[in-house]
Structure 1
Amino acid sequence: MTLEYTGRLDDETVFDPSRKSVAEETGLAEAQPEREYTPLTVEIGDEQVIEGMEEGLIGLEAGETETLTIPPEKAYGEPTDENIQEFETEELREMLGGQTPEEGSYLEAQNGSQGEVIHVDEEVVRVDFNPRLAGETLTFDVEIVDVN
């Protein structure tokens, strides 16, 4: 199944459009210049997209449009304390080639997940590896382009 989509948060902020025109209107095209905007093709049952989106796409036909509202438990879950990791400041500084991370900056873990630095002092650095969209209800306006 191939679809165009626009993902929004509760406050109507667009966080993930498939159409370049929407990305340009919202400023996302400037923020992510390397991204290509193309329709999404998914195989239902392959778990390529979040659970709530997959469930919402079942049974839709080519040409149909639908608005899917997906609660956190069917999207990226709720943020948890287990996803906040502590590092010794000195150790992390060595791993970063002598730089001290700043609060608000992002680090990438060895498994590729992104974490936001939420606390820095002489002793410890705390990094929040919760998914950026954890705890968010997501709304996707979808338009089915093709069903294969």
Structure 2
Amino acid sequence: MAQAKKGDEVRVHYTGKLEDGTVFDTSAEGEPLSFTIGENRVIPGFEQAVLGMEPGDSKTEEIDPDQAYGSHREDMVMELEKSQIPDEVEPQVGQQLQLRLDNGQTVPVLITALGEDTVEIDANHPLAGRTLTFEIELIDIDENGASDEGGNIVTP
């Protein structure tokens, strides 16, 4: 049987869990995740875990932050004046907003704390700094590379 290698389009079912066992994402009830190995459309540790697997293989892989969403960076946590938040938004801890940068780009941020006149926001990925565990089942391999079917999956 063929083993998954760089350039192969693979289809996998997966379940991602946090350190405490909480499931943060899964494909179990839906369509398998499709991606081409080597195109960096999934986190590096996930792609590395699939390399060498054969269709029908299952494995559990623990992925450190440096091979997932990186370390939690304190320089990406900032405090804004509440007056910088649009009037129609009532800020709440846990709320996700879009921060527009000077260059026009937008970045998703999470409100992590509220002060009397300030709002603390965090621009880190919600899974930054976390060790992730993935249960992975390789469904099939297309050794001819990516097809035109399906969407552009960015992360598992």
For 2:81, the equivalent position in structure 1 comes to: 88
Q: Which has the higher strand share?
A: 2
% identical aligned pairs = 35
Partner of residue 97, structure 1: 87
Give how far 1:90 is off.
1.1
Which segment is superposed worse, 81-90 or 49-58? 81-90
Please say if residues 89 and 100 of structure 1, whose CA atoms lie closer than 8 Å, have aligned partners that are also in contact: no
Change (3 A) 1:112 1:66: farther
Partner of 2:27: 18
Report the equivalent of 2:33.
40
Q: Aligned-pair distance for 1:136?
A: 0.9
| Relative contact order, higher structure (CA 8 A, sep 6+) | 2
1:74 to 62, 67, 70: 67
The verdict on how the C-alpha distance between 1:90 and 1:8 changes in structure 2, with shifts beyond 3 A counting, is same
Counterpart of 1:54 in 2: which secondary structure?
Answer: helix
**CA-to-partner distance for each residue in 1:85-144, whole Å, 9 max, x for gaps?**
22222122xxx2344412332212344543221232344221011111111111111111
Q: How many residues matched?
A: 129
- Segments of 5+ residues of structure 1 without an aligned counterpart are 21-36
Give the structure-2-normalised TM-score. Answer: 0.75
Residue 118 of structure 1 corresponds to 112
Name the counterpart of 1:57. Answer: 50
Superposition RMSD on alpha carbons, in Å? 1.7
The Cα offsets for residues 14-45 of structure 1, whole Å up to 9 and x where unpaired, read as 1111011xxxxxxxxxxxxxxxx310011010
Normalised TM-score (structure 1): 0.79
Higher fraction of helix: 1
User: Structure 2: which 5+ residue stretches go unaligned?
Assistant: 1-9, 143-156
CA distance in 1, matches of 2:99, 2:31: 28
Amino acid at match of 1:4: H
